[in-house]
Amino acid sequence: MKVTNEKLKQLIKVKLNNAGLSAEHASDVAEVLVFADARGIHSHGAIRVEYYAERIAKGGINVNPEFLYEKSSESTGVFYGNNGSGHVAAKRSMEIACETAKETGVAVIGVKGISHSGALSYYVQQAAKEDLLAISVCQADPMAVPYGGAEPYYGTNPIAFAAPGKDGKMIIFDMATTEKAWGKILEARAKNEAIPGTWAVDKDGRPTTDPFNVSGLLSVSGSKGYGLAMMVDILSGILLGLPFGNRVSALYGNLSEGRNLGQLHIVINPSFFTDLEDFKDRITQTMNDLNSIKPAPGFEQVFYPGQRSSQKEEISMVDGIEIDDGVYDYLISDIIHTNKYSKQDPFGN
């Protein structure tokens, strides 16, 4: 089913508002989810709405959070999310980080006590639009088996980075530290499709191609992804005094409780280190250099990080966004949720 970006945003906004989120916060969440869908990151788009709606309806997301920002220095501080929507808290804390970096050259802002915040690429592009560099990391509940282990300890623990070029173009890099994000498993489930055997393992630690039989995700590049997951957990969990490792709250389970997750934004103002226009010229030259590299057999060209997602976003403005029929049917229905996510199994089995 194809829908326009604006229609999808409105459908999501109405559903989340009906679940109990304020119209303002529902609009912010819808903006982030549509951004993800428009860029082809469907695992973090409309497919997540019913889960958010159930957690909102059951009290696991604070619909009237008292956001608070406390500076700890001219360049650092903590944004307290009060277990409100992670999307709203992450967006507003990034706005603070951008303003801080413009004034001081760098900002390191911890975001403490939030729910799931979706695609991190949205928040780093906020900074890139302001001619700033940004890195954002956040912890997730334990779904990934550590290298050499058979039981989950860390989450998908994503990392995102963005840098501005000229004419509004930017490099955006957004990755889970697992071979694939959990949302990709959800997407495969929604489409009733098999997954590659390199993505996940079953309850016995054996590779599985059945998305409904996943009991652990595999780290990207083995020990390297495992190390990155540890780094993210320290920066967005331990550094902020939050639960860490396998103590991080479950995505599913008790949906009436706040998740108390952490996120960290690092924003750098290039103009404090070099000439801004020269910096943007060099980023653009990097993009052009990568595009001009001879492609390997089987590839049409080399793309710079975020380029294909940006192209999809531009196309979606004209052609609309393709979403799963089941997700669309849910969005247009009067159903808020069907209790499908109230499970103790972190993998929703």
Instruction: Give me the half-sphere count of Cα atoms (radius 13 Å) on the Cβ side of residue 197.
Output: 3
Across residues 225-243, what is the average pLDDT? Answer: 98
Give the helix/strand (H/E) hosting 123.
Answer: helix 121-128
pLDDT in tens, 173-182: 999 999 987 7
Mean pLDDT, rounded, of the chain: 95
Catalytic residues: 116
DSSP designation for 295:
P
For each of the domains in the chain, give its residue range(s) and CATH number, in order of start.
Answer: 2-277+307-332 (3.30.1370.60)
pLDDT in tens, 122-135: 999 999 999 999 99
Going from the C-alpha of 36 to that of each of 239, 308, 321, the distances in angstroms are 28, 13, 10
Instruction: Name which of 88-102, 192-206, 277-291 the model is least confident about.
Output: 192-206
Distance from C-alpha of 1 to C-alpha of 11, rounded to nearest angstrom:
14
**What is the DSSP pairing of strand 106-114 with strand 76-80?**
parallel
> b/e per residue, 39-72, with b = 16+ CB within 10 A?
bbbbbbbbbbbbbbbbbbbbebbbbebeeeeeee
Instruction: Give me the half-sphere count of Cα atoms (radius 13 Å) on the Cβ side of residue 212.
Output: 5
pTM listed for this prediction? 0.94
pLDDT at residue 348 in the model = 67
Using CB atoms within 10 A of its CB, is residue 296 exposed (0-12), middle (13-18) or buried (19+)? Answer: exposed
